[in-house]
Amino acid sequence: MTRVAVASRSFSRHPVLRAEMQERYDNVTFNDAGLSLAGDALVDFLAGHDRAITALERLDETVLSRLPELKVVGKYGVGLDMIDLPAMSRLGKKLGWTGGVNRRSVSELVISAAIALLRHVPQGNALVRGGQWRQLMGRQLSERTVGIVGCGHVGKDLAVLLKAFGCRVLAHDLKNFPDFYAAHGIEPMGLDELLAASDIVTLHLPLDSSTRDILPAGRLALMRSDAILINMARGGLVDEAALKAMLADGRLAGAAFDVFAEEPPTDLDLLRLPNMLALPHIGGSAEEAVLAMGRAAIAGLDNARDPLDFKGQGG
């Protein structure tokens, strides 16, 4: 009999996903205690199971090597930075993962954040709540130049949506997508050139050795003082200390981050800046996206592949 463990807390308490898992498998262990599982606790929870669904739980070589019975992992969510893919492959375990299933949820959040910062929505809300009443002059998203760094599932979806606003869309990616760029009037260019040319820069990259700290202080300095930086992808892509200094000094107009190098973030000086819109990693937290991610994880238990097939992906 196949035994399946669902380590994810949010999956375990979702009534629809829970019911669909129980329809497919007779022996399922859910994380009903709502524990944040890591290290020994994660090993204990997964031990004795043939398959598992994980989300933000870290599956490194130490954990995976202690789970000889575990053969398949279905990934709930689109990020792969919590899984040691080479180690998983070496140990003969397979991965079920589908990229981009939450792309519209993330794309819409990017657009909402861009408009909120351009129109000073957080500052305006704070003024009214504080008993003040005065107009704040902002800018429209329409006709702005938006630079998309990472033109994968989310980046492509966002590019199409931005065209409805009449935006000039720039794109930077290690891969080339000439047919997509031509079909939607998107301009590919180098990263430094994109940073200098954009009113809004939005990041849509996986986190790996090639992308970690891809925007250090020197690169951030290439952005215009009236520009906005959005990161709804992964923490660790941006030098957050340099970002804080630029926002505080007026060298950058605003930033919206849904992800941070440390979560939850502890730098309250950064989080409390009036031109910093900080969110608690809600990019995929739309009802439609949660169902899509959960169903993809369930399907992945039966359609798993060598983890190295997904190396360099995520998002």
Q: Which of 281, 287, 295, 305 is catalytic?
A: 281
Give, as one character, the DSSP assignment of residue 304.
Answer: -
Residue 281 is among the residues annotated as catalytic for this protein? yes
Q: Which of 143, 262, 263, 288 is catalytic?
A: 263
Strand order in the sheet with 27-30: 27-30, 3-6, 51-54, 72-75, 94-96
Residue 263 is among the residues annotated as catalytic for this protein? yes
Q: Which pair of tokens denotes residue 188?
A: 């590919």
Strands (E), the chain: 3-6, 27-30, 51-54, 72-75, 94-96, 145-149, 168-172, 187-188, 200-203, 228-231, 254-257, 276-278
Q: Which residues, 6+ apart, have CB-to-CB distance to 135 below 8 Å?
A: none
- State the Cα angle at 58 between 104 and 289, rounded to 5°: 15
Q: Which pair of tokens denotes residue 43?
A: 């090993």
Q: Which of 234, 262, 272, 287 is catalytic?
A: 234
Residue 120 is among the residues annotated as catalytic for this protein? no
Q: Among all residues, which ones are annotated catalytic?
A: 234, 263, 281
